[in-house]
């Protein structure tokens, strides 16, 4: 177990941080690094507590933003931007949408250090990065979520969306593999924006959106069917056989699907394999999730927290819940920095399972504790702006 006092003493041995991303675009990396070192030296002189956040997704970014007035915050992320994930599918048919949903870390972290790299190890005093840095901490927060497949630069991510749109526009037929929220929402976006295209969705389960109730699943299927989307249940596609040139796809049931292009929309693995050789290896459950206490500290540690999808909290992994994790841990960190006892820390309790699925630009599906709604009302809540304006305001930016 890491004692808080030991970590505080160990943090004094800070390493030089290079390749940090601060300042306006066009500034040299060397100038940005010099500014960063000066700021960190000033923080150290003031006795500021060091908080290292590993992972710049929606949970880690909000935590870092919230804590920057109260601590010497370092955000470690292999990307130079935050991606609002629930806008991804709209951006595939409307790449300009990504101009608001892809946010440079530097735009909201105006008083923190950004290290563009990946974590490869954790000791009781520091996080070690892929590019050889050692980031000392008093408090550490793991927010790595699921395995990253996006490019490291915001500009390259926008180009990916442009390529996706081009692929859809040049195709007469599209195959979507996976009937979870990603596959369903992508099918909805394509069916609404390109009603002339043939869309087929293949799902290995017996119903769509299996994390919600039967009634909501049936409503979703009825909506897709009304948009002429073919849905094949209890079938799968061999992912190893996929290619960008193949136009005939054979399912596990022997059916043949013809499509000019395909999109794989199945769940990504958790980004926790890198923890297997760290001090947190015994804190992982058999699914690769970090086991946390009710105050979201990792079991067995006083100064290491976990938030977002990587936790073992028994709840549906959704963005608004990751935000709740981040805000709770930010409050607990402020209490600990002030010297409050553990008994004063806030605790987290999973709430009712809520789901809000976008179905194209104007309709949606909502599952509430005692009610399922479909149509324009859920669409008005989510589908038109996909909460982008609200999320940007939460990050201190213009909507």
What residue spans define the domains of the chain? Answer: 4-78+117-149+268-344, 154-267+353-394
Partnered with residue 146 across adjacent β-strands are 270
The predicted structure's pLDDT at residue 21: 42
Cα(76)–Cα(61) distance, integer angstroms = 10
**pLDDT 10s per residue in the chain (399 long)?**
444 444 444 433 333 333 344 444 445 555 655 565 566 556 655 689 999 999 999 999 999 999 999 999 999 999 999 999 999 999 999 999 999 999 999 999 999 999 999 999 999 999 999 999 999 999 999 999 999 899 999 999 999 999 999 999 999 999 999 999 999 999 999 999 999 999 999 999 999 999 999 999 999 999 999 999 999 999 999 998 888 888 999 999 999 999 999 999 999 999 999 999 999 999 999 999 999 999 999 999 999 999 999 999 999 999 999 999 999 999 999 999 999 999 999 999 997 778 999 999 999 999 988 889 999 999 998 988 999 999 999 999 999
The predicted structure's pLDDT at residue 36: 54
The predicted structure's pLDDT at residue 241: 86
CB contact at 8 A, 310 and 272: yes
CB contact at 8 A, 86 and 386: yes
Give the angle subtended at the CA of 272 by the CAs of 267 and 273, to the nearest 5°.
105
The predicted structure's pLDDT at residue 39: 60
Alpha helices per DSSP H over 46-127: 58-67, 88-93, 98-101, 105-108
Cα(92)–Cα(106) distance, integer angstroms = 25
Cα(10)–Cα(236) distance, integer angstroms = 51
Tokens of 329: 């841990």
The predicted structure's pLDDT at residue 17: 36
The predicted structure's pLDDT at residue 37: 54
Distances in whole angstroms, Cα of residue 29 to Cα of each of 34, 274, 324? 9, 28, 34
Residue 310: CB atoms within 10 A of its CB come to: 27
Task: Tell me the whole-structure pTM to 2 decimals.
Answer: 0.88
How many Cα neighbours within 13 Å face the side chain of 312?
A: 16
- Top-level CATH class of 4-78+117-149+268-344? alpha beta
Do the domains spanning 4-78+117-149+268-344 and 154-267+353-394 agree at the CATH topology level?
yes
Fold of 154-267+353-394: FAD/NAD(P)-binding domain (3.50.50)
CB contact at 8 A, 237 and 251: yes
């Amino acid at each position: 177990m890491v004692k808080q006092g030991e970590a505080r003493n160990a943090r004094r041995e800070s390493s030089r941080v290079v390749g940090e991303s601060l300042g306006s675009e066009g500034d040299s990396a060397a100038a940005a690094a010099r500014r960063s070192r000066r700021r960190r030296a000033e923080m150290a002189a003031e006795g500021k507590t060091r908080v290292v956040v590993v992972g710049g997704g929606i949970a880690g970014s909000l935590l870092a933003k919230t804590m920057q007035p109260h601590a010497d915050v370092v955000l470690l992320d292999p990307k130079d931007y935050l991606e609002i994930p629930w806008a991804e599918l709209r951006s595939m048919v409307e790449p300009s949408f990504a101009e608001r949903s892809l946010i440079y870390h530097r735009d909201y972290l105006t008083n923190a250090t950004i290290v563009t790299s990946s974590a490869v190890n954790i000791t009781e005093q520091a996080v070690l990065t892929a590019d050889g840095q050692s980031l000392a901490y008093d408090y550490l927060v793991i927010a790595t979520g699921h395995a990253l497949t996006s490019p490291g630069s915001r500009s390259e991510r926008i180009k990916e969306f442009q390529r996706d749109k081009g692929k859809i526009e040049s195709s007469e037929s599209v195959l979507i593999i996976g009937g979870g929220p990603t596959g369903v929402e992508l099918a909805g976006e394509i069916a609404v924006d390109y009603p002339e295209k043939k869309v087929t969705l293949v799902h290995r389960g017996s119903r769509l959106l299996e994390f919600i109730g039967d009634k909501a699943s049936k409503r979703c299927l009825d909506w897709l069917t009304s948009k002429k989307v073919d849905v094949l249940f209890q079938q799968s596609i061999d992912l190893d056989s996929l290619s960008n040139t193949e136009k005939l796809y054979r399912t596990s049931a022997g059916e043949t699907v013809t499509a000019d292009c395909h999109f794989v929309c199945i769940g990504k693995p958790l980004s926790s394999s890198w923890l297997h050789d760290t001090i947190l290896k015994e804190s992982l459950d058999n699914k690769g999730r970090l086991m946390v206490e009710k105050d979201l500290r990792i079991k067995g540690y006083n100064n290491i927290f976990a938030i977002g999808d990587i936790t073992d909290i028994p709840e549906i992994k959704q963005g608004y819940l990751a935000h709740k994790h981040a805000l709770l841990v930010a409050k607990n960190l402020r209490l600990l920095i002030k010297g409050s006892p553990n008994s004063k820390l806030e605790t987290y309790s999973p709430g009712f399972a809520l789901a809000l699925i976008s179905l194209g630009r104007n309709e949606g599906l909502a599952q509430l504790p005692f009610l399922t709604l479909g149509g324009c009302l859920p669409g008005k809540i989510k589908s038109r702006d996909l909460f982008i304006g609200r999320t940007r305001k939460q990050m201190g930016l213009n909507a």
